[in-house]
Structure formats: structure tokens, C-alpha cells
Chain A
């Protein structure tokens, strides 16, 4: 009566497998995948916008903690999302592989035998007896590229095998895309670096502001190139202030030390080294300042990266001078083209530098740099500081704040370069293109069968596999030929 545990387990597994590879379950998984993708478009995602996620945590701490537990902020790498698509792909494999083998076998095979009762098929025709009918039919069918199986007194012909080929090609291509995505994330790397014009970038992990490596990617595998940022030009439409073009000129050397080549990077045309690409992602201004101690000694000098806040590149940033006693910090705003209005106060009215201003509030005290807590380079924690001055500086002006002075010497453009190594993407592209090809073949190929049978009469009938029209005309044409 009772089944042994092993048999039960095997039976259970077999049952699971049959369920998983059934079309109904595949369909449910497919719809489920669509539904599961929705939350990621509603809630901010860590992979895209970590700042927004942080904001969400600040605004709704309680809710955010709960949502985080179910990975709502990392939907596309969450276990439940992965589970759905992995199950779907297992189901796909379970369905497509056997069909591929079957299809490969069918390539050389003859069409199936003529069914017994042709009058049950579509477009059934009865013709007068004619012994040469089969020869005529065979000739016509072969001329029209049907695959023909001739028996003693019947013909079975089939055409449109490509439909299944296309269908399988499409599904196998999807598998290729999945593999490509996997390869890209396991063997790739992705990093960003902010560089002022005039600076040099060397492709080693320490040069990046942040970089992540795939699980199997070694840090030493970065391509040894260097870039000198020689020039950056942004042009704007004077009517709308919208940017019309960004053009970055670099001197690249690969490997480091070889003869440098001048290259141009634009938003839609990255610089390529093998599977590594360098993208121009963002840009902004770095005001150049010199800070002097009241003794006259220079304690800080150079460009400081500021973050743009609006389309006219009003930029905010922080200049930190820890080498003074007390420590000095400037919370600053850079206006490329300064303007004033009663409602908004000082603001920038154009993104290009036409009439620059540097608005400063000067703080003295403890910058908190030694506290061990990582700090933003764009902000100053002023909780242990007091404000000792406020000033708006035009180009080349200086401000004496008692402890010392600051001079607004000029500005530089900075660019944010994204450097991505994705060895899988060519496979993904191939998969995508093959998928479209497969779809086109499978949706536009008509697969159909035609039979001719001789008994006391001549019977002709057909069957269209996916209901596409056209078979009726074909059968009629054959009947016409048979009638002579």
C-alpha cells in the first residue's frame, strides 16, 4: 500500500517538473514577472538613485524599514524577483530543449501519414477519379516547396517548418540574453570619477570616486589606460537655456606611458578600450579659490567641485580649510551668470559663465574631519562652528574675514566619467537581434499540411497550424490543377 520514501520523493519531483514546464504555469510566471516589476518603478531603487532611497527613509522611517525587509528598494536583485525569473527560465528550458531535439529530428523526417478521414479536415474537396492525380499533385506540391510523403495511394505534404525554427530561435535567444546579463554582472566592473579640466585619470581602483566589481572580476584586470582631461565645452540654446552639446576632449594613452592620442567623448559617443567604455555622464563647475592665513601664508589653493542645483547651473559646495586654527569652512554657492530678483534673491540666469559670483558664508570652529564619520565633500557640518562672515565675490575679488582672506581666482569645468566594463553585452545584443529574427520568422511563417488521397474518388484537404489565412487559396489552386 505505502510507497517508499524515495519513490515518493522522485514522484514528487517529477510532478513538480511537469507542473513547472506546463504552459499554464509558464504563463502565470510570465504575468507574475510583469507584476513583480511594478514596485521598482514606484519606489526609489538603490541601484538607480540611492539619494532618493535615503530621502524615503528620512520621511517615512517606519514604513521604509518594513519595505526594506521585503527588498522593495532592491526589487530587481531581490530573492523573490530572481525566483520568478529563474523559475520562468527553468520552465523555458524544460519546454524548449525537448522541442528543439524533436525539431532537429524532424528536419530530415517525412511529413506524418495521411489521416484516415480527410473529410474532417479543413477545405475538403471531392474530385472525380483520376489515376494520375497523385503524380500531378506531387509535381505541384514539390514545385511549391512542400515536403512530400508519397504512399501507395495518398500524398501527405507539409510546408512551413521554419515556423517552429523561428519559435525555438526566439526562446533560445532569450536564454542567451539571460546568460549575457549574468556574465556582465559577474565579470564586469563599473565606476565613476569626477575630474576637473586639466587633471589626469589613471585607470586603477584608487582613482575612482566609487567602483564596484563583479564577483569574479579581479581588481588588477582593469585596462591600464590614462586620460588627460584637456578641454570641455558645453553649448546652450540662448532661447531656452537648454544644453545643446557637450564635448569633452581628452588625451588618452593605452597603456600608460605610450604616445597619447587626442580623443573626443560626447554624450552619445563614449570612448572605447576593448569591452571597457568611458561615458560622459555629468558636468559642472569648480570655482578656483586661494585662502591665505592672516600671516599671508597660502593654506588652500585650487578648484573645488560644486554640485549643480538647476538648469542654469547654480552650484553649491563646500571649501574646507582644516590647516587653520580655528578651522575654517566656506559654505558656498557659485552663480555662473549672476542675477538678482526681489523674489529669489541672487540666482543664476544662464548656464554659461558670463558674470560669475561666489556667494560665501564663512564658518570658524571644528570641521569634524577627525571624528571618523565619513563626510560629504559638498557639505559642512556646522554644528560645532560659528559664522563669522557673509560675502558675494566677483571674479578676482578678495574677502578678508579676520582670520585670513579668500580670493575668487576663476573656475574650471568638471566632468563625471562613468567607466564600465561589461564583457557580456555583445552576447546580449546578439541575443536581442536573434530574438527579433526568431519572432519575425515564427509569426509570419505559415505552417500547413495538404493531403491528397485516391480511393474510389480523389480527396484533397488541408490544415493550417496557426489559423493564418491563405491555405484555402492554396488548396483551391491545387484542386484546379488536378481538375486539369
Chain B
């Protein structure tokens, strides 16, 4: 079953590669009318890859007889799934295809790292993880993470375009990208949409910690950084809604908040100490 799963991932990656190639075609040839088709193929491939990855995650769960969120390999593949899912969702709603290239690269890097460095054969859960809260807490955290990172990608695009526009008119390849205001609004909307979910993820974690560790909050490194991420996004929302920050400053704050999330995931899982480290990654 595990081999089957790996095969699935190999496939998913292969497909994702073709997405990247297609997307690149889009950008090297500036005549968009001619590359419209390859862009569409890219989106279709992205959807197909999403379905395959979804199946892969499901099979991983089946092969381990549990929810597939027990170690960092599994978090990474599910995170990549959530990230591309968030992209596909927003793609339909906000005409986001211009983001296909960075999204597919990010997903590829994540999956690549997961398969090569983080892979562990599927194994049963340690007793501390045996709880219904695993499914609730981790899925909420992963979905929030996927959307936060998408908001980050949008904010980064904003900053890059902002810099370019400062120097003069947009070059040909950037013409297809949306206006700065649209980017600004989009990253805010993504954050505002998912902030309650993140709050819920933290609270679900606290409820679980109460039943597993005897306290609902203990400033464990993972908890601390989840708190920092929460505070950073809360500051972002206040800055926007109440003080009226827009544009560059808001984008930087958004990037900062998103990077605290990434830092939490990478640093605390790999080099950190504390109670959130399980089964050696």
C-alpha cells in the first residue's frame, strides 16, 4: 500500500511538472492569445494534480488506518494539498491563473522535500496523538496554513509589482497580472476569511492539550509561535480595518505574519524542542 502511495505521488509530481512547463510557456511568449490554451491546460493539470494528491493523502491514511496527520511528511503533503486547494478555490472566484506558476513551484518544492527528506513509512500513532482532536485541530491548522501562504504569495506579488511600477510602466509579461488594488484586496480577503479558522485551530489545540497534557496553554514552542502568528494577523487586520493601512505597509505586515507561520512549521518541527515533536519529524 505504501508503494502504491509513493507511485501516486510520483505521478502527482510528474503532472505538476507539466503544469510548470505550461505556465512557463505562458510567460516566455508574451502573446497571451496564443498561450491561452497552454494556460488552460495548466489549470486543468493543476486540478488533476490536486485530485491525485488528494487520493494520495487518502491512501496514506488508509494504509496507516488513521487520519494521515501523524508526522511531518504527512503534514507536508496535506499542506501542499491545502495550498493548491486554496489556489484552485480562489482561481474560480478571482481569476487567479497568473499565480499558477509560483503556486506550482511552491507545491513542487514542498512535495519534493516531503518525498526525499521527510518520508517515513506509514506507522501507527503514538498514544498522545490518538484523539479525535487530531483530525479537528490539524486539519484546521493545515487549511489555515494553506490560505495564509496563498495570501503571502499574493502580497509578495504585490510588492514585486509595486517595485516594478515605481520604475516605469509594467513590462509585457506583467500586463496580464491584476492591478495593485486588486492584489491588495485579495490578500486581505484571504486573511480575513481564514483568521477565524486559525483562531479555531488554536482553540481546538488548547482543548486537546487540556485533555492530553493537563493544561490548555503552556507556552510550548509550537503554541508560542501559533500565538505569535495569531497576534501578527490580528495586528494586520486591525491595521487594515481600523487604521486603514493599505498597500506596501499592509503587504509587508502580511508577509511577516505568514513567515511566522512558516517558521513555526519548519523550525519548531525540526529543531525545536517541546511537546509537538513526534516520531522524529
User: Residues on A close to B: CB < 8 A?
Assistant: 23-24, 26-27, 30-31, 33-34, 37-38, 40-41, 44-45, 47-49, 52, 75-76, 181, 190, 237, 239-240, 242-246, 266-270, 277, 279, 281, 418, 420, 422, 425, 428-429, 432-433, 435-436, 439-440, 443, 466-467
- Choose one: B203, B214, B228; the contact of A432 (CB below 8 Å): B203
For residue A441, which residue of chain B has the nearest CB?
Answer: B196
Chain B binding site: helix, strand, loop or mixed by DSSP?
Answer: helix
- Please give, as numbers and ranges, the residues of chain B lying within 8 Å of A76 by CB-CB distance: 219
- Please give, as numbers and ranges, the residues of chain A lying within 8 Å of B228 by CB-CB distance: 34, 37-38
Instruction: Given the known inter-chain contacts A27-B243, A443-B192, please indicate yes or no for A268 contacting B199, CB distance below 8 A.
Output: no
A-B contact pairs, 20 of them (CB 8 A): A23-B238, A30-B235, A34-B228, A34-B235, A41-B221, A41-B224, A41-B225, A75-B219, A237-B124, A242-B123, A243-B127, A244-B125, A267-B130, A268-B127, A268-B130, A268-B133, A268-B212, A420-B214, A425-B216, A439-B195
User: Residues on B close to A: CB < 8 A?
Assistant: 123-128, 130-131, 133, 185, 192-193, 195-196, 199-200, 203, 206-208, 210-221, 224-225, 227-228, 231-232, 234-235, 238-239, 241-243, 260, 268, 272-274, 279
B124/A242 in contact, CB under 8 A:
yes
CB distance from B65 to the nearest CB of A (A): 11
- Choose one: A48, A181, A246, A425; the contact of B210 (CB below 8 Å): A425
Closest 7 CB pairs of A and B: A34-B231, A432-B203, A41-B221, A267-B127, A268-B131, A439-B196, A279-B214
A269/B211 in contact, CB under 8 A:
yes
B231/A27 in contact, CB under 8 A:
no
Instruction: Given the known inter-chain contacts A23-B242, A33-B231, please indicate yes or no for A435 contacting B199, CB distance below 8 A.
Output: yes
- Choose one: B127, B195, B268, B273; the contact of A245 (CB below 8 Å): B127
Supplied contacts A267-B130, A435-B203, 4 more A-B pairs, CB within 8 Å: A240-B123, A268-B208, A270-B211, A443-B195
The answer for the CA separation of A52 and B193 in the assembled complex, in Å, is 40
For residue A268, which residue of chain B has the nearest CB?
Answer: B131
CB distance from A334 to the nearest CB of B (A): 22
A48/B219 in contact, CB under 8 A:
yes
Instruction: Given the known inter-chain contacts A31-B231, A242-B279, please indicate yes or no for A237 contacting B123, CB distance below 8 A.
Output: yes
- Please give, as numbers and ranges, the residues of chain B lying within 8 Å of A75 by CB-CB distance: 219
The answer for the CA separation of A436 and B126 in the assembled complex, in Å, is 30
A440/B196 in contact, CB under 8 A:
yes
CB distance from A138 to the nearest CB of B (A): 31
A432/B206 in contact, CB under 8 A:
yes
- Choose one: A48, A239, A466; the contact of B218 (CB below 8 Å): A48
A27/B219 in contact, CB under 8 A:
no
- Choose one: A23, A420, A432, A443; the contact of B215 (CB below 8 Å): A420
- Choose one: A26, A44, A281, A425; the contact of B238 (CB below 8 Å): A26
A246/B200 in contact, CB under 8 A:
no
The answer for the CA separation of A351 and B218 in the assembled complex, in Å, is 29
B274/A246 in contact, CB under 8 A:
no
The answer for the CA separation of A267 and B242 in the assembled complex, in Å, is 44
Instruction: Given the known inter-chain contacts A30-B235, A34-B235, A443-B196, please indicate yes or no for A433 contacting B214, CB distance below 8 A.
Output: no
B196/A242 in contact, CB under 8 A:
no
The answer for the CA separation of A432 and B128 in the assembled complex, in Å, is 23
The answer for the CA separation of A435 and B200 in the assembled complex, in Å, is 9
The answer for the CA separation of A439 and B124 in the assembled complex, in Å, is 37
CB distance from B263 to the nearest CB of A (A): 10
For residue A466, which residue of chain B has the nearest CB?
Answer: B241
- Please give, as numbers and ranges, the residues of chain B lying within 8 Å of A267 by CB-CB distance: 127-128, 130, 212
- Please give, as numbers and ranges, the residues of chain B lying within 8 Å of A266 by CB-CB distance: 127, 130
Instruction: Given the known inter-chain contacts A23-B242, A268-B212, please indicate yes or no for A47 contacting B123, CB distance below 8 A.
Output: no
A41/B272 in contact, CB under 8 A:
yes
The answer for the CA separation of A443 and B126 in the assembled complex, in Å, is 38
A281/B125 in contact, CB under 8 A:
no
Instruction: Given the known inter-chain contacts A268-B128, A443-B192, please indicate yes or no for A30 contacting B219, CB distance below 8 A.
Output: no
The answer for the CA separation of A34 and B127 in the assembled complex, in Å, is 32
- Please give, as numbers and ranges, the residues of chain B lying within 8 Å of A48 by CB-CB distance: 218-220, 274
A37/B211 in contact, CB under 8 A:
no
- Please give, as numbers and ranges, the residues of chain B lying within 8 Å of A429 by CB-CB distance: 207, 216
- Please give, as numbers and ranges, the residues of chain B lying within 8 Å of A26 by CB-CB distance: 238
For residue B228, which residue of chain A has the nearest CB?
Answer: A34
The answer for the CA separation of A267 and B218 in the assembled complex, in Å, is 17
For residue B211, which residue of chain A has the nearest CB?
Answer: A268
A47/B127 in contact, CB under 8 A:
no
- Choose one: B218, B231, B238, B279; the contact of A47 (CB below 8 Å): B218
- Please give, as numbers and ranges, the residues of chain A lying within 8 Å of B217 by CB-CB distance: 181
For residue A279, which residue of chain B has the nearest CB?
Answer: B214
- Choose one: B123, B203, B243; the contact of A433 (CB below 8 Å): B203
A246/B214 in contact, CB under 8 A:
no
For residue B196, which residue of chain A has the nearest CB?
Answer: A439
The answer for the CA separation of A244 and B278 in the assembled complex, in Å, is 13
For residue A28, which residue of chain B has the nearest CB?
Answer: B235
The answer for the CA separation of A27 and B130 in the assembled complex, in Å, is 39
CB distance from B271 to the nearest CB of A (A): 10
- Please give, as numbers and ranges, the residues of chain B lying within 8 Å of A33 by CB-CB distance: 231
Instruction: Given the known inter-chain contacts A27-B238, A268-B212, please indicate yes or no for A436 contacting B130, CB distance below 8 A.
Output: no
- Please give, as numbers and ranges, the residues of chain A lying within 8 Å of B208 by CB-CB distance: 268
- Please give, as numbers and ranges, the residues of chain A lying within 8 Å of B219 by CB-CB distance: 37, 40-41, 45, 47-48, 75-76
- Please give, as numbers and ranges, the residues of chain B lying within 8 Å of A435 by CB-CB distance: 199, 203
The answer for the CA separation of A37 and B231 in the assembled complex, in Å, is 10
CB distance from A286 to the nearest CB of B (A): 20
The answer for the CA separation of A70 and B193 in the assembled complex, in Å, is 39
- Please give, as numbers and ranges, the residues of chain A lying within 8 Å of B133 by CB-CB distance: 268
The answer for the CA separation of A281 and B212 in the assembled complex, in Å, is 8
A436/B211 in contact, CB under 8 A:
no
- Please give, as numbers and ranges, the residues of chain A lying within 8 Å of B211 by CB-CB distance: 268-270
